[in-house]
Amino acid sequence: MSHSPIILAVDTSDFDTARAWIDATHESIDIYKLGLEFFLTFGCEGIESIARESGASIFLDLKLHDIPNTVASSIKSVSDLAPKFLTVHASGGGAMIKAASEAGPDISITAVTILTSLSDSDLADVGFAKDTKSSANVLAKLAVLNGARSIVCSPFEASEIRVIVGNEIEIITPGVRPPGSDLGDQKRVMTPKEAITAGANYIVVGRPITDLAKISLDEMRSGASSILESLN
């Protein structure tokens, strides 16, 4: 398989399910996002086992957000896992992002701007003065200035953030749904094709693919392949 821009969100706390999903989709996907749910259940050993057995690249989505020293220590504790991407919250501030980047020089420290489950009113509720797009732009610029090598943002912010960060920084967009899919808890979404056109290097897709496993793994395999084909 040539380079695939799809990252599958492996949102499960069941190890065998995670392996089955990866085995079913590896022809269309080569990066898998393992998040807090999986990490808290299986720890570093589980992440390492998935990476070793599948040969897949790992997006370790821990969304670290703490004082700089704690974040740096946390990144050092998982550095042996050699994830392709490791997330921190950009809102943790420049010093925290810089500490993260210095602690994981061989990892693409990935700064999460504004969660795609949040709307403008949600941000206002927690004290943000700017709307989602303006806030994401500010956070992306701050993150890159402090060493982040990739950015997570909504597809709706991708085009402006691309201008801000340039072409060397990789942009990853969750909040992606194929036409006709249930939006779930996402509020700012685009189709896969729209997100890539907007400037994303990678798109994170979860339930539109993983829910197909409830029908069959063959259906899941077909769903992943269809999304990849839609990007050509």
Average pLDDT for runs of 10 along the chain of length 232:
86 95 96 96 96 95 98 97 97 98 97 90 92 94 98 94 96 86 62 94 95 96 95 86
List the end-to-end C-alpha distance of the chain, in Å, as a whole number. 14
Torsion over CA: 142, 143, 149, 150 (sign): negative
Q: Which two tokens stand for residue 46?
A: 């589980």
112 belongs to a structural domain:
yes
* 131 assigned to some structural domain: yes
Helix (H, G, I), strand (E, B) or coil at 217: helix
Q: How many residues does the chain have?
A: 232
**Is residue 1 situated within a structural domain?**
no
In a domain, 192, yes or no: yes
Report if residue 82 sits inside a domain: yes
The pLDDT of residue 1 is: 45
Biggest CA-to-CA distance, the chain = 47
Number of domains in the chain: 1
Catalytically active residues, by annotation: 63
- Determine the pLDDT at residue 188: 60
Give the pLDDT confidence score for residue 37 in this predicted structure: 92
- Asked whether residue 219 is assigned to any structural domain, the reply reads yes
pLDDT at 179: 75
Q: What is the pLDDT of residue 137?
A: 96
CA distance 1 to 28: 7
> Is 201 contained in some domain?
yes
CA dist 56 to 29, 34, 114, 148, Å? 9, 11, 27, 22
φ, ψ for residue 92, nearest 5 deg: -70, -15
> Residue 105 maps to which CATH number?
3.20.20.70
Give the structural domain span for 95: 6-230
